[in-house]
Amino acid sequence: MTDSDTSPQLKIWLRIAVICGILASICYTLSTMVPLPFRIDYNLFFAFGPLLMASVFAIYHYLKAECESIALQMATIFLIAAGIAFTMMATMQGSIRHSFREEMSAVEADEARAEIRTRFLGVDSTQLGLDMAFDIFISSGTFLLGLALIRHPRFGWWFAIPAMAVAATGLTLNTITFPENSGVAGYVDPGPFFSVVYGLIVLQLIRCWAGWNPPTTAQAQRT
């Protein structure tokens, strides 16, 4: 372990990873599955990206104390980039849809509404590019995180294999169906499977928190 990764600091990083991970899951679930007022809905949606980045950065600091690796470092970079891409996509999506919703409510003629819908489809397609950027970063980062978990003493193959399988499948499906989401295009939506993978990781982190046992051996350097 490095001098900066003392036991109290590791426990703080672990708490941040768990709390932000749970909050990210709650915000995403509520904003995508529960009918809510526009302001509340999109504020929850916007919060997912920053919470994801905070959780990922904290997970990195916790995991590297026992098993530092190139895969873990690269996974952290890609997953933080995923949080940035998601935030950009979410804010663009919210701005576009709110603007067109306001415009649509101001007209009644069917011809005018049809013209607005046509313009909306063209403008809304721009946020699909950022959505694909998010898919690329979250899939790549999850695959690399799976690689990093293989030899980690608190995780191992049981967590690594699902992470890598979901990541590879998700990226393949979203690439095939681009610019549409794979779920919209008639394939399986990989989103819920990513949620399961990260849910399992957070549950394991909660177990680590509940039965706190800080690393006592030197930090392992692996490639």
Q: 53-72 pLDDT, tens per residue?
A: 999 999 999 999 888 899 99
Structural domain contains residue 2: no
Tokens 């699909």, residue located: 128
pLDDT of 122 > 80? The answer is no
Structural domain contains residue 189: yes
pLDDT digits (tens, 9 = 90+) for 153-210: 899 999 999 999 999 999 999 999 887 777 777 788 888 899 999 999 999 999 988 8
Structural domain contains residue 221: no
Structural domain contains residue 181: yes
Count of domains forming the chain: 1
pTM higher than 0.85 for the full model? no
How far is C-alpha 180 from the geometric centre of its chain's CA atoms? 19
Return the C-alpha torsion angle 16, 26, 78, 156, nearest 10: 70
Count other C-beta atoms under 10 Å from residue 13's C-beta: 20
Structural domain contains residue 223: no
- Write out the residue range of the structural domain in which residue 77 sits: 7-213
Count other C-beta atoms under 10 Å from residue 25's C-beta: 18
Is 147 within 8 Å of 160 (Cβ atoms)? yes
Structural domain contains residue 63: yes
Structural domain contains residue 205: yes
Structural domain contains residue 220: no
Q: At what angle do helices 191-210 and 38-67 cross, to 10 degrees?
A: 60
